Structure 1
Amino acid sequence: MNPHLNQVVRFVRKGLPVELALPAFPAKSPNLNKVLGPLPDKAEEIAVRFLNDLCEQISTVYAPGARITICADGRVFADLIGVPDAHVSGYQSAMARLVAREAPAALRLFTLDDAAAGLDPVELRRRLDEHHGESVAQLREEIRTNSDTRAMYLGIVRFLVEDRLGPGYQGTRSALQRKSRDRAYGVVARSRAWGRLVGERFPDSVRLSIHPQPCGSAKLGILLGGGADSWLTPWHSVAVQGGGHFRLMKRIEAERLGAVLVHDGGRPSHFVLSNSCS
């Protein structure tokens, strides 16, 4: 905790809001068994409100409060996770509107597009790899010999397989697993490259993560919603209302429970469970 405490103390001594950086909100999963579509919905809205509430709670004990920079990384990974860049653009634009509406003072959005305005997505990723990337051979060796890195890699493989096993997938699972193992190396490398870029842009910010973090690590893990899988994220799930609260679950699970789909503004928003199912 000491590295994070030292960062916080620097802001407090200057009487400034504590700056936090959270790589998150990339794009909706392409698997429609998980999500409602390519745009943010009630799941993201709840997460944004949670982050805003967190900043407001901090302000009750430290008047300047805190500000969170959401480092939206969909553009970083789009070519590796099977999400069209057009979907990333739509998601980022909708997230910007959501943040402006729900948390204009506490949250802001930073994307790879902001790092080098005017470049196309392919060139943005090429430059990220060139200036902040690392040797794939070196990464493969680390995954082979380091248990923590290997566990992270295998988790990414699992997510990549799940995201492609949606309605309409016609290939074999074994072929998909082979491709996912190869692409997962790229995801790990790109994630680290993005982390280095974020570190350069926001060197003083306390780093947050949507993944569990061991005590004493460089990042603090943070939950964005509740569910049976407590680390399920809004972009891999849907919001389900029942029992007086919202929780996150995969779309197919909500439908199996008989939840009713709710639309808002003409778009699918979330599910509602009857009292007997909640």
Structure 2
Amino acid sequence: MPYAGTPPPPPTEEKVSQILSIISAYRHRSSNVADRFSEFVPTLEKQLSDTVSKGETVRFILPAFPFKAPAEGNKRKTLGSLPDKAEEIALKTLDGFADSIAEIYEGGATVVLVSDASVYGDLLKISDADAFAYHQELKKLASSLELTHLEFVRPGELAGVVPESAKTIEEYSAHVSKTRMLLDGSLAQSVDPTEDENVQATSRHYDTALPQSDDPEAFKAAMLKRGKAYAKLIASSAESSIRLSIHESNNVGKVTLDLFPPATNPDFITPWHGAVAVLADASVRIVDASTVDMNKFEVVRNQEGRPWLLREKCDLFDWFGMEVDFEPLFPCGMLVRPRHGYGPYKFEDVDMKRVRRLALSSAPLLLRGFTMEIEKEVFRQKARELGEIQMWPFGDILEVRENADFNMNNVLTREAMPFHYDGVFKTVQDEKTGEWISVPPLFQMFRNRAASQSKGGLTLFSSSRNLIPLLGPDSIPLEELRQLKWKTFTAVNEAFGGHELQLPFIITHPESHVDTFRFHEPWPESKCIAGSSEPTIVQVVGWPQDKSDALCEKLTRLLYDRRVAYRHQWNAGDFIFNDNAMTHHTRTAFEDGHREHWRVHVS
């Protein structure tokens, strides 16, 4: 938002700036290649200005998702030849990238995924049948996930040498032949692997990513030549699209994207060269499956029986006779539900010690498909098993539903809420200093009683595990933020408020002892509905207002980032256990329909 006294930029210029901020935030900064994205910005501004001024869709083009890496004896990097959890996360990341642009620009955004299979398949000895099956299943996966900002094409379609997408393996093989003839007709005599930074980066990637060969240098040279011809085809066929890449680059001419939340993929592995692994602490990593000790891990299959992910063997995933599945949520959290053909199980029989451990490792923890008699005493007893219940002026269990008779700011309304953590305004007074101290609870425990079927009403949970790795030059470095405090105030109501607080941005988690982010989204009067909510003032301690506002806006943007925030659509009967120290949460506004949760806080 422009600051007071500053004339607002023209609408097109403002939209272009916002879109550029999203592209910049999603770009991958290589540790091997110097980032020169700022040099590419003028070109992007010109291209985006032309698109936005016409109200057209911002189109990106990404050569990717060719096929799963081939097996090398016992050194298979992946779990099989078809898409799995790794592709699911990558597709959600790309769709979230485009959806972030669609939220602020009416023309929307689309990522066109161009499968490289026909470009490299023969060199890598991948059969047409495997490549065709992979691509078909990839499209089915995107459709089942309702990802609306992705399109799938093959190079031959893009270049116009084939009429449409192949529907059978016979058609696909014919299309592949035509595409390779086109590419081979424009091959360079040779490609100097040192000709520029981006080619150097791709060459280094091939040194470790390509299968074993009798002549590695000739193999790499053939890949580089085919790749250069392919890049020319992309450039000539999609001149109005912004070029994306999955290879490390300097981000000039094309922008390299992270296909996974950075916290899960420190080694920058692509989904077709790796697998999702759930570790013993319930954290998620993208790994080269050939490096995993399979004596310590098991392969988890999806409902269709397809190898889906790896999970470390651990008692955390043994629920005492309950046959349950553990599915990582995107981009954070874990879903626990009865395995297909089993259950439902009684919530009363759930081991809350394991729930606490899982919620500390993978918040929010969602239990779905567990039954409970609608009795508060059962809910209360399970909360006691989780930890010590924290009391409020209204008691222990809050019925979170629209209630105009009880003033709790915007908690008991249908309006949107700011991102926050519970209990920031729950205070005690230090007997010696007289200072008011914030005493937030460690856990939230929710039980959904009624899920509104109307538009909105999502609960967003954002984890510090995903947010902190995104801190950096575009926002503020972690070590600089660690030195700062923020002050906040909201008017007193029947449950909290009335005291100005000064709080650190970064704290040490009370149990896991890792860094965790603390903040409250500023909520000005313009976002409040008269008579039902009050503003929440937030400012960086010691900073002038304009500088503070700019940082608060950047931090708020990170909380809403699709690689940070899990967007939960409630089902009746859902249980959620959330680490209130590790995460922030918010609620989107909703319209008609009854919506109700029970909520209790536990330390």
Provide TM-score, normalisation by structure 1: 0.83
Structure 2 counterpart of 1:193? 229
Correspondence 1:156 to 2:184: no
Correspondence 1:260 to 2:295: no
Superposed, which structure 2 residues align to 1:27-106 within 5 Å? 27-31=67-71, 33-106=76-149
Q: Any conservation in 2 of the 1:28–1:39 contact (CA below 8 Å)?
A: yes
Give aligned pairs, total.
258
Structure 1 counterpart of 2:309? 270
Structure 2 counterpart of 1:247? 285
Moved more, 119-128 or 234-243: 119-128
Query: CA deviation digits over 1:95-134, x for unaligned, max 9?
Result: 121223335520011113434335353342122211x322
Q: Any conservation in 2 of the 1:153–1:184 contact (CA below 8 Å)?
A: yes
Q: Any conservation in 1 of the 2:66–2:116 contact (CA below 8 Å)?
A: yes
Correspondence 1:134 to 2:214: no
Task: Read off the aligned partner of 2:285 and give its amino acid letter.
Answer: R
Query: CA deviation digits over 1:182-228, x for unaligned, max 9?
Result: 1111111111211111222211000001122214x100010112445
Counterpart Cα distance in 1 of 2:97 and 2:132: 27
Change (3 A) 1:229 1:181: farther
- Which one scores higher on RCO, CA 8 angstroms, separation ≥ 6? 1
Superposed, which structure 2 residues align to 1:113-262 within 5 Å? 113-114=156-157, 115=159, 116-117=161-162, 119-130=174-185, 132-136=186-190, 139=191, 142-143=192-193, 149-160=199-210, 163-164=211-212, 176=213, 178-215=214-251, 217-225=252-260, 226=262, 227=264, 229-242=266-279, 243=281, 245-256=283-294, 258-262=296-300
Change (3 A) 1:229 1:256: farther
Structure 2 counterpart of 1:172? none
Task: Read off the aligned partner of 2:87 and give its amino acid letter.
Answer: E
Counterpart Cα distance in 2 of 1:159 and 1:38: 17
Q: Any conservation in 1 of the 2:76–2:290 contact (CA below 8 Å)?
A: yes
Q: Any conservation in 2 of the 1:28–1:37 contact (CA below 8 Å)?
A: yes
Structure number with higher helix proportion: 1
Query: CA deviation digits over 1:42-64, x for unaligned, max 9?
Result: 10011111111111111222232
1:14 corresponds to which of 50, 54, 76:
54
Per the TM alignment, residue 66 of structure 1 is displaced from its structure 2 partner at its CA by 0.9
Task: Read off the aligned partner of 1:76 and give its amino acid letter.
Answer: V
Counterpart Cα distance in 1 of 2:112 and 2:218: 31
Larger-Rg structure? 2
Q: Any conservation in 1 of the 2:187–2:226 contact (CA below 8 Å)?
A: yes
Change (3 A) 1:51 1:126: same
Structure 2 gap ranges (5+): 1-40, 163-170, 317-360, 362-603
Counterpart Cα distance in 2 of 1:50 and 1:67: 13
Change (3 A) 1:257 1:20: farther
Change (3 A) 1:254 1:208: same
Moved more, 256-265 or 12-21: 256-265
Counterpart Cα distance in 1 of 2:307 and 2:250: 37
Counterpart Cα distance in 1 of 2:243 and 2:288: 28
Partner SS state of residue 143, structure 1: coil
Change (3 A) 1:276 1:135: farther
Counterpart Cα distance in 2 of 1:153 and 1:4: 26
Q: CA RMSD in A?
A: 2.5
Task: Read off the aligned partner of 1:250 and give its amino acid letter.
Answer: D
Counterpart Cα distance in 1 of 2:100 and 2:295: 35
Task: Read off the aligned partner of 1:16 and give its amino acid letter.
Answer: E
Structure 1 gap ranges (5+): 165-175
Per the TM alignment, residue 271 of structure 1 is displaced from its structure 2 partner at its CA by 1.5
Structure 2 counterpart of 1:110? 153
Partner SS state of residue 148, structure 2: coil
Task: Read off the aligned partner of 1:135 and give its amino acid letter.
Answer: Q
Q: Any conservation in 2 of the 1:21–1:68 contact (CA below 8 Å)?
A: yes
Moved more, 246-255 or 62-71: 246-255
Counterpart Cα distance in 2 of 1:146 and 1:9: 29
Q: Any conservation in 1 of the 2:198–2:248 contact (CA below 8 Å)?
A: no
Structure 2 counterpart of 1:169? none
Structure 2 counterpart of 1:173? none
Change (3 A) 1:252 1:222: same
Aligned residues with identical type, % of pairs: 25
Counterpart Cα distance in 1 of 2:137 and 2:58: 26
Moved more, 253-262 or 206-215: 253-262
Task: Read off the aligned partner of 2:272 and give its amino acid letter.
Answer: W
